[in-house]
Amino acid sequence: MKKYSKFIPVPGFKAAGVYCGIKKNSNKKDLSLIYSEGKALSAGVFTTNKVKAAPVLINMEHIKNHNTQAVVINSGNANACTGEKGFEDGKNMILATAKELNLSPTEVLVASTGIIGVQMPMGKIISGIEDAALSLSHNGFEDAAKGILTTDSSTKTVSIEFDLDDKPIVISGMAKGSGMIHPNMATMLGFILTNASISKELLETALRDSVNNSFNMISVDGDTSTNDMVIILANGKAKNRVIDNMDENYMKFKKALDIVSTELAKMIAQDGEGATKLIEVDLSGAKTKEDARVCAKSIIASSLVKSAFFGSDANWGRIMCSMGYSGGDFSPENVEIFFQSKKGVIQIVKGGMGLHFNEDLAKDILLEDYIKIMVNLKDGEYSAKAWGCDLSYDYVKINGAYRT
């Protein structure tokens, strides 16, 4: 498998990204369109927040269709908490896209991200959809990746190339997310495309499992958004034997999808609003997989842990505390904790108690911009990873004026 830190065009797909006037800055694209030239299957995972934006509610129905050929996405306005008018606006975005591409409305998905509670500027959006449809290109994915961003500092793209049945397969993904990021579909959007031929049932299974171990294992600020979703489209253009059971081809496809999902998730965590460090929790020795996931997520979501890492403070007590209230089952007296970065590795907890460690080395390790917290519960054989970032002064500055 070959991995690329960019969006490799996927055969049979086109994309575009344009500026239509939703955002105040005309240098920032705010509407994107993804289009499959032929029929494609889709699968999606959506926010667990009870307050769901109109696009999420619409997509939860449209995703059931056996042909999805387009996704229209706007940034700058979330179309959330906008009532019946917002739902109607989401539908009208779909109708306009379907008209431009000669599709049925049920063959189109819609996504929005941005400020909550503001009605959509539909005149600008409809014009933007028309412009995007005219701009569709096999090389338009970089523009599309820009058009979905809000407070992100950069685009987030990754691709994997591999073979199935001697047929070249591509899985390429783009995502946005910087704040309002928390496990259980952390505001993030993800769009993944592939030319692989796979059944809708297994596409759904693969995506759901992949999301559980990637996007659902990141946290920036503890807030689960109203708009989160990850969508995958598979158009079958590769002409490989249809993946319709969990055989070797499925496992190979799933491995590639996991790489794409995990890399995108890590990029979101690293680009957390105001973040200066990417933090990875590598937790092992749990009694069950769920215990491992729960404990790892609790560490990465803790505001006190994140604050300590911003200050490069080896405050291991906050890590122990966060696992203690996580709901995970473990024996505190068995726990071991290590910190690692390119400056080295240091053990700071053994048998659930702090060790006398070299404070200067610990400080040097924690001053780096990519740090691993390695936890061994020494209770079993299960493990999990989670990703997040530190919590800095700039996070408050950004979100103190997000709406204005």
Mean pLDDT of the residues in the chain = 92
Taking only the tens place, the pLDDT of each residue in 171-217 is 999 999 765 444 443 347 999 999 999 999 999 999 999 998 888 88
pLDDT of 183? 42
pLDDT one-digit tens code per residue, 40-70: 999 999 987 788 899 999 999 999 999 999 9
Give the C-alpha separation, 89 to 5, whole Å. Answer: 35
Whether 219 contacts 301, CB under 8 Å: yes
Percent of the chain scored above 90 by pLDDT? 78
**pLDDT tens digits for range 98-124:** 999 999 999 999 999 988 889 999 999
- For the cut 50, the answer to whether the pLDDT of residue 222 exceeds it is no
Is there a catalytic annotation at residue 194?
A: no
> CA angle, corner 74, sides to 73 and 76, nearest 5?
150
pLDDT, residue 132, reads 98
pLDDT at 403: 59
Domains and CATH numbers, the chain: 2-270 (3.60.70.12), 278-400 (3.10.20.340)
Helix (H) / strand (E) element for 398: namely helix 393-400
Q: What is the pLDDT of residue 185?
A: 38
In 143-277, the DSSP E strands lie at: 156-164, 167-176, 189-194, 218-219, 229-234
Please, which pLDDT band fits residue 389 given cuts at 50, 70 and 90? confident
pLDDT digit string, tens, across residues 228-268: 899 999 999 999 999 999 999 999 999 999 999 999 988 88
pTM for this predicted structure: 0.84
Write down the catalytic residue from 151, 187, 194, 226: 187
Q: How far is CA 66 from CA 41, 43, 235, in A?
A: 6, 10, 11
Give the CA diameter of the chain.
Answer: 69
